[in-house]
Structure formats: C-alpha cells, structure tokens
A = this chain, B = another copy of it.
Amino acid sequence: MAESRKLRMGMVGGGPGAFIGPVHRIAAEMDGKIQMVAGAFSQSAERSRAAGERFGIDAARAYADYRQMIEVEGKRPDPIDFIVIVTPNHLHLPIALAALDAGIPVMSDKPATATYEEALALEAAVAKSGLPYGLTHTYAGYAMVREARAMCAAGRLGKIRKVAVEYLQGWMSKPIETTGQKQAAWRADPAQNGLGGSIGDIGTHAFHLLEYISGLQVTAINATLRSVVEGRRLDDDCNAFVRLTNGAAGALACSQVAAGELNELRIRIYGEAGSIDWRQQDPNRLIVRWLDGPEEIRHAAAPYLSPDALAVGRTPAGHPEGYLEAFAVLYREFADALVAWQQGNKNPLPATLPGIVAGVRGMRFIERAIESSRKESWVEF
C-alpha cells in the first residue's frame, strides 16, 4: 500500500556541531511516518558526507548543496517528499523558495526567515505554490499546551484579561560567541541570525505560544531590548508589554543572560474565572488556578483532558514525555497533512500545526519589538 510507506525527508543544515539537526531527525522519525533519506547537511561536501554517514544516510544522498539535493532528488524514482530547513536563519528564505519552486513541501525550523520582509515574500511564495509549509514552533506540540489552548478556546477561563510569558536562559551570560561556541557564534551575528538576538531566537517562541494558546493576537508592543554582555551586537535580553485583540494586556520577557536559568519558558494566562500556568521544564502538568475553587493540576494523558490534548500523547499518564515528543507531534501532523495533500486535499494543514502565518507573525513581532525599543515607545502591529 502506497499510503503506508514512510515519507522521505531531506534535511538542509544540521551538520557536525549542530544541535538541532539530530533533534529534527529523531522527531521526524519518532512516529514511524517519516524517514530521513537525504540531506545537504553542510556546505562542505566532506562534512555533509560525514554527517550523512552518522545519520545512516546513503552516501549518494548526502549533498553539499541544497540546490544539488533538490535537483538530484527530483530525478530519483524515490525522491524526497519534503525538505526540512535547519540552517542559520539567514538561509531559511532562499532554501524555502528553492524548494517551493521545485514543488517540494517545506518544514522549517523557526524563525521562518531572517526579516519581516522576507517572511512576507515567503508567505506569498507559499500561497502561490499551494504546497504544505510547516514551522517547528516546538512548544506547540506539548500535550498540555494543547490542553491550555483548548481551555482558552472553550472559554473556560472566561474573558482573558492578562497574560505573562517569559523565556529565560542563561547560557549566553558570558561572551561565549567570541570563544568558539558555535551555537552562540551564529546567534550573535546579525548577518546569520537576522536583526534580533534573543528576541528572535527565543522571544519568538514566547510570542508564538502566547497567541497559540490564548487565541488572541498582539496588537501593540512596547519593548526594551538590551545587549547586556559588552560587545554583543544583538540583543540578549528583552522586556516587553503587549496589548491583545480583546483588550487584554500583558508582559513578555526573554533573556539569554538570565544566569542560572536553563530553558525557562513559562506562560500564564489570566481570565475572569481563573488562570493557567505552564512551564516547559515541567511540561506534563498544567496548573489551573480557579477564582472560586482549589488549584488544579492537570496531568498529560489523564482521561479528563480535552480531545486535543489526548490526541498527541504516546505514553500513559505518569510516563513523562519531553521536548523530542513535542517536536515529533508537529512532524506527525505535518506527515498526516502531507499524505492528505498527496491524495488531493488542497488545505490539509490542521490549525494546531504552526505554518507560514505563524512565521509571518513571528517576524512581525521581531521587527515591531526592535522598532519599539528603538523608539522607546509603544508601536502598533
């Protein structure tokens, strides 16, 4: 049966030293629907081959260039079904455009592009192509994020009044980009990372989660970006106020110089009737605090959860799922959508899977935050 074959994935980026390449590979393959069969892992042919070998990829399908991969794969009887882009940010757009141009669906690491203008261009290209495009805002894949989203959508909290989202890390507390730390080096380089530093790297996750869970949109922002570490060219710390479509307001913070924090992504949403509180480092629990009753802790995979939350888990309650499982949820949804698309469905992407719209929002967020910080005032979205 053709339907039950695994989808073939080709990766761009993710070569030696990259953290995110292996993560995408594991996540893509976890649910048995996708197999990574090709890759342009590095711009060095040798390094790309080495990466391919480590990934167990046929040597002939480890390319030194994404254009080459697109071209050669296109001529195979078993070509890749889609590409995933895991390069530094400045390459996201050209790679995505090349794939779309060749009729190849795209899964992309975030942010979608390096600038807001690029995001608009990509949005147009996606629309024109009619091809599936997914964006791995990983945290959207956690079961309890889905539960939080379902609760907001169902009005369980009453009218939302206040939000607070923060994403704090400490790993760039020292100028490690100057000492050969590869992850830090490209993130601190405007040419590779785009105009935003922490705001783009992690602030976009916080922003996405806020809109994804609340169902509201940010309409204005007042942000203060700082480069705390001396000599750093991009922001490494940000505090922002936001206003939301329904009149609610809130705060968004991100930092990569919050010494001692590992990966503290937390979101709280306050409604008239109660509030929710979720932390990525404790992802299988959702705290719900009611105005008129005891605090509640909802656990992943428990039978009382919403269908949306129950749909994405793999293990029974009490058996923790983590970052890779959340990531894999997005790939599973993308895979199912891709099969549907191959079978003729023109709009196969589910609302739960972040796509180009989220990508454009995220780039708009970065651009508006930087503008606001420059002006030291509120700016509209």
The reply to whether A324 and B315 contact each other, CB–CB distance below 8 Å, is yes
The reply to whether A30 and B19 contact each other, CB–CB distance below 8 Å, is no
A275 CB within 8 Å of chain B: yes
A55 CB within 8 Å of chain B: yes
The reply to whether A289 and B304 contact each other, CB–CB distance below 8 Å, is no
A86 CB within 8 Å of chain B: no
A316 CB within 8 Å of chain B: yes
How far is A31 from B26 in the complex, measured between Cα atoms in Å?
7
A340 CB within 8 Å of chain B: no
Task: Name the interface residues of A252-291: CB closer than 8 Å to any CB of B.
Answer: 253, 255, 257-264, 270-275, 280-284, 288-291
Q: Which of B23, B259, B304 contacts A275 (CB 8 A)?
A: B259
The reply to whether B294 and A297 contact each other, CB–CB distance below 8 Å, is yes
A320 CB within 8 Å of chain B: yes
Identical chains bound together, number = 4
Residues of chain A at interface, number, CB under 8 A = 88
Contact segment of A189-197, A222-230, A343-351, A352-360:
A222-230
How far is A181 from B231 in the complex, measured between Cα atoms in Å?
55
The reply to whether A314 and B274 contact each other, CB–CB distance below 8 Å, is no
The reply to whether B314 and A22 contact each other, CB–CB distance below 8 Å, is yes
Quick one: given A293-B304, A302-B294, are A270 and B251 in contact (CB under 8 Å)? no
A219 CB within 8 Å of chain B: no
Q: Which of B30, B291, B325 contacts A260 (CB 8 A)?
A: B291
A128 CB within 8 Å of chain B: no
For A53, list chain B residues within 8 Å (CB).
Answer: 1, 4
CB distance from A22 to the nearest CB of B (A): 7
A307 CB within 8 Å of chain B: no
The reply to whether A170 and B294 contact each other, CB–CB distance below 8 Å, is no
Quick one: given A162-B237, A250-B239, A315-B323, are A275 and B255 in contact (CB under 8 Å)? no
